[in-house]
Structure 1
Amino acid sequence: MLTYIAKRLLLMVPTLLGVLLLTFVIVQFVPGGPVEQYLAESRAGLGGEGAALTYRGNEGVDEERLQAIKALYGFDKPAHERFFQMLGQFARFDLGRSFMHNKDVWTLIKEKLPVSASLGLWTFFISYLVAVPLGVAKAVRAGSRFDFVTTLLVLVGYAVPGFVLGVILLVIFGGQLEWFPLRGLTSPGWEEMSWGQRIIDYLWHLTLPVISMVAGSFAVTALLTKNAVLEEIRKQYVLTAYAKGLGQGQVLWGHVFRNALIPIVTGFPAAFIGAFFAGSLLIETLFTLDGLGLLGYESIIRRDYPVVLGTLYLFTLIGLLTKLVSDLCYVWVDPRVRFD
């Protein structure tokens, strides 16, 4: 096992470098970098809105000021020097400083993480707590009306995009009926509320966004659980357990369920860790939630390269480590698996 883990850790290095190099090269060819945007915004600030519309390159900016602006953003060095400098910073887990927000990337991630983690964790737990029992029930009642109706509902929920469902919920329950708030994660004056009021207010704001994200996440887990349980039910050891006089509940939950959960459990670490960092741009924008999804989108639009590359490095590293943990779970769940 130690040899396998060492090999996987060593393979992460070229994978991580390849991802960063490819993204860095693409970034160099994208027009309208931070220097150009700074010049355009400066000209707009001096000349008004009309000046921004008539902006052409660095016209009217002397060379000395242009070089000073490039040095401010670190673009006074060749691309290969900037790349290796970035790798040195990342090796020290220094993700750089945002051009747009003038803050450390770590600070921005910490500020936006609670919003995305709230959406992701609630979606993750509700999906698993509902989808796994639903999948078992569908397998036990395979071919019945219950199986047909629940499959239809699950697939409809999977087919409807989350942001479309969010718009519908927002219009009906937030706009017309006014049962839920339209924006934000908490109400004004939240800090002055009691703990009970804070929890109720937080859940009240979170209901519609979580429903929008959960609706499409049932299908894969529920149908995977159903198929895994059906496959186990047909095996010989189940007939042997029934022949020994065990009841259906003992066979189902004591034998079948444990073996059927192998594909579910092995994907659990990746899904759990991903719940913290997988910000949803459309849901966050729709419900005015300032999370990681919105941060990533704004960073790309504004060419905030430290945020783009810093978050990419962090999330890729977390993803590779989580994938390793998921593979190790195979051995933990099923001792028959060997690394060789």
Structure 2
Amino acid sequence: MLAYSIRRLITALPTLFFGVSLTFFIIRLAPGDPTDRFLTPSMSPKIKAAITEKFGLNEPLPVQYMTWAKNVVLNFDFGKSFANGREASQVILDALPYTLLLSSLSLLFGVLLGLISGVYSALKAGTRTDRAITSFLLFFYSVPSFWLGLILLGIFSIELGWLPGSQISSIFHERLSFFGKIGDYASHLVLPVLTLGLTTAPVYGRFVRSSMVEVLNSDFIVSARARGLSERKVVFNYGLRNALLPLISILGTSFPALFSGAVIVEVIYSLPGMGRVMVDAALGRDYPVIMAASVVAFIAVIIGNLLADIGYAVADPRVRIGDSS
């Protein structure tokens, strides 16, 4: 397993290199100049040239790329943010925990909701209950996350006032007790987690339902029932474990969608995660921060796919990762 993981990480390096390189050239070839925010009509061309040189934008594009790549590979240095002068890597590291927390909680909620709805829908296949659950899942699958976020924000925060609608904590957060701080964080995360979880749960629910229906009609399930086993044991001990295999395989591959959804949700609820950082960096043409965020995103996708392969092998002993036979 360890040898396979190492091989997968090594073979993923060309993908990481190509994706990051493509991002580097795209953002620099896009219209606009990151120095415009520092200029005024009264500034002389010499001042503009000095600012451009300070940011290293006066060099030809291939030279800029080689300089950036050398600094990243040798020193893990993405450069300093054009906006505030901070190290771009530190800007991302400060925001990353919030995005990981939101993504993890949303993934847990989405998987649980999809698992419960998918299994129950499969057990009631062909009935009105099955059609109702399917309609519920299809509705949230088709709803854009930003639209759902705005609706939940308007209802539960603005109209009813039950939940906070922005930021990760209250202004009096530091005066709260330890458990009070946890409750404060939790209340601020309810709406973002609901928004992201409800839009991702249908994917898992539909996969679980189709897989569960197929498994429940398999010969080994018929044999288990013929042996006199209880329906509960047949469903959960025999059917569910086999039905979970497709779910495990899509967890890693669905991570990019979850990550991009977190970016949108963080902007809606003004959370201090990577979503807000990436949007601000894109609008301000902050190249170092954009590149640092892109590298983190590519690495997260690669790790997600690797974990999906490992999880599939753990869940199904018949699979032997890396076995050429």
Tell me the equivalent position of 2:21. Answer: 21
| Correspondence 1:27-106 to 2 at 5 A | 27-39=27-39, 43=40, 55=41, 60-63=43-46, 65-91=47-73, 92-106=75-89
**Deviation digits for residues 157-193 of structure 1, max 9, x if unmatched?**
2222222222222223222222222322211111111
Give the drift of 1:73.
Answer: 0.3
**1:228 alignment counterpart:** 211
1:255 aligns with 2:238: yes
User: Which residue of 2 is the match for residue 171 of structure 1?
Assistant: 154
- Residue number in structure 1 paired with 2:226: 243
Q: Does 1:316 align with 2:281?
A: no
1:7 CA displacement: 4.8
Report the residue type matching 2:291 in the other structure: L
Q: Distance in 2 between matches of 1:14 and 1:256?
A: 39
- Residues 134-153 of structure 1 aligned to structure 2 (within 5 Å): 134-153=117-136
Range with bigger deviation, 224-233 or 159-168: 159-168
Q: In the alignment, what sits opposite 1:216?
A: 199
Q: Which of 163, 188, 193 is the matching residue for 1:205?
A: 188
Match of 1:261, SS? helix
Counterpart Cα distance in 2 of 1:200 and 1:98: 34
Q: How many residue pairs end up in the alignment?
A: 321
Q: Map of 1:115-154 to 2, 5 A cutoff?
A: 115-154=98-137
Contact 1:279/1:292 (8 A) holds in 2: no
Code of the residue aligned with 1:156 in structure 2: it is F
Deviation, 1:219, is 0.8
Contact 2:96 2:274 in 1 (8 A): yes
Q: Quickly say closer, same or farther: Cα 1:189–1:6, change in 2 above 3 A.
A: closer
Going from structure 1 to structure 2, the CA distance change for 1:121 and 1:2 (only over 3 Å counts) comes to: closer
**Which letter does structure 2 place at the counterpart of 1:151?**
T
Gaps of 5+ in 1: 44-54
Structure 1: distance between partners of 2:173 and 2:76:
34
CA contact (8 A) 1:116 1:278 kept: no
8 Å CA contact 2:225, 2:234 repeated in 1: yes
Q: CA deviation at 1:130?
A: 2.0
Choose which of 170, 173, 176 in structure 2 pairs with 1:190: 173
TM-score calculated relative to the size of structure 1: 0.85
Cα 1:208–1:197 shift into 2, 3 Å: same
**TM-score when normalising by structure 2:** 0.89
Amino acid at match of 2:33: G
- Cα displacement string for residues 3-43 of structure 1 (whole angstroms, at most 9, x for unaligned residues): 7555533432222221122222222322222223322xxx1
Kept in 2: contact 1:278–1:292 (CA 8 A) = no
- Match in the other structure for 2:288: 306
Tell me the alpha carbon deviations over residues 229-264 of structure 1, each in whole angstroms, 9 at most, x when there is no partner: 111111111112122221111211111111111111
Computed over aligned residues only, the root mean square deviation of the Cα atoms, in angstroms, reads 2.5
Q: Verify the 8 A CA contact 1:131 1:218 in the aligned structure 2.
A: yes
State the distance in 2 between where 1:209 and 1:2 align.
36
Does the CA-based 8 Å contact 1:183-1:289 persist in structure 2? Answer: yes
Tell me if the contact between 2:92 and 2:289 (Cα under 8 Å) persists in the aligned partners.
Answer: no
Return the offset for 1:142. Answer: 0.7
SS, match of residue 267 in structure 1: helix
Q: Report the secondary structure of 1:337's partner residue.
A: coil
Which secondary structure does the structure 1 equivalent of 2:199 belong to?
Answer: coil
Distance 2:43 2:29 in 1: 24
The 3 A distance-change label for structure 1 pair 168 and 314 is closer
Residues 325 and 282 of structure 1, relative CA distance in 2, 3 Å threshold: closer
* Residue type at the aligned position of 1:72: K
Q: Which residue of 1 aligns with 2:11?
A: 11
Between structure 1 and structure 2, the one with the greater Rg is 1
Matched AA of 1:18: F
Deviation at 1:89, TM superposition (A): 2.2
Provide the identity percentage: 30
Within 1, Cα distance between the matches of 2:307 and 2:190?
31
8 Å CA contact retained: 1:96, 1:306: yes
Distance 2:257 2:109 in 1: 15
Q: Residue 116 of structure 1: SS of its match in structure 2?
A: helix
- Whole-Å separation in 1 of the counterparts to 2:3 and 2:146: 45
